[in-house]
Amino acid sequence: MNDKLQSVMQKIVKLRALAAQAGTPAEAETAAAQAEALLVKYQIDEASIETPTNEEPLDEHDALWSGKTNEHWRGILCAGLTKDHGCAAIACRDGKTTTYRIAGRKSDVEIVHYMFTWLTTEIDRLSGSEKGRADKTSFRIGAATGVLRAMRAARAVEVQAAPTGASASLVLTNRHDDAMNKLKSMMSGRFSSAKTRRVVSDAFSRGVAAGGNLAPRNALGGSGSKMLGGGR
């Protein structure tokens, strides 16, 4: 192995560590995306950069969220974030409790945990301006939809601009599929999906707009990504 390739591999490990310890979701997104771009550009085998500190790539015991109600907006956000970051999640029911269990590589899972927690907190906070239960629910569904749309739009722009963008996206898709297959083989019990809810169109639209302002820009990397909106 030449010195340049060894240096690149070390950089990938450092970027993944940075992604796991980032101070904001945008910083985590940027570091993880830069690591993936290097991986694809230099055609490096994943196995060759595993370190002793890495956990098993899949962990069926990792709970992303647990609650008494399987709210549709949380399910939208969970499914979107896990798929877009090469992870997978299943909603499992145990009596009246629903738990979202997530599988994926350690650094990817940590990014999803961080972003899911931050975004659900912000969406809950922003929905406080809505009047009535139906409007609050519709706003939250819209916000979850809006943040994912904005992130994917930013990613699509980066894919077109970056020579390795399409390959990086394929890597994430393959990781998601592998994680989902493994997760299903590991898990037992009842799998459930949140019921689709009718929405109040005006509140939903306000939520979509608010969610778009929460999305980190430059989802596939680049410098200066910031978390916008949310009164920050």
The pLDDT confidence band at residue 83, using thresholds 50, 70 and 90, is confident
Which pair of tokens denotes residue 6? 């060894």
Model confidence at 187: pLDDT above 70: no
Residue 102 identity (one-letter amino acid): I
pLDDT of residue 230: 32
Q: What percent of the chain has pLDDT over 70?
A: 68
The pLDDT confidence band at residue 158, using thresholds 50, 70 and 90, is low
Model confidence at 4: pLDDT above 80: no
Model confidence at 227: pLDDT above 70: no
For residues 118 and 25, give the distance between their C-alpha atoms in angstroms, rounded to a whole number.
Answer: 8
pLDDT of residue 93: 81
With tokens 């595993």, the residue in question is: 50
DSSP state of 55: P
Contact 143, 120 (CB under 8 A): no
Q: What percent of the chain has pLDDT over 90?
A: 24
For residues 112 and 200, give the distance between their C-alpha atoms in angstroms, rounded to a whole number.
Answer: 29
Contact 220, 155 (CB under 8 A): yes
The pLDDT confidence band at residue 97, using thresholds 50, 70 and 90, is confident
Taking only the tens place, the pLDDT of each residue in 26-37 is 777 777 777 777
Higher confidence at residue 222 or residue 22?
22
| Percent of the chain that is helix, strand, coil (3-state, to 5) | 60, 10, 30
For residues 141 and 76, give the distance between their C-alpha atoms in angstroms, rounded to a whole number.
Answer: 8
Domain extents for the chain?
59-212
For residues 194 and 63, give the distance between their C-alpha atoms in angstroms, rounded to a whole number.
Answer: 17
Higher confidence at residue 212 or residue 26?
212
Q: pTM here?
A: 0.67
pLDDT of residue 52: 38
For residues 181 and 146, give the distance between their C-alpha atoms in angstroms, rounded to a whole number.
Answer: 28
Q: Is 62 exposed, middle or buried (0-12, 13-18, 19+ CB in 10 A)?
A: buried
The DSSP code sequence of 170-199 is HHHHHHHHHHHHHHHHH--SEE--PPP---
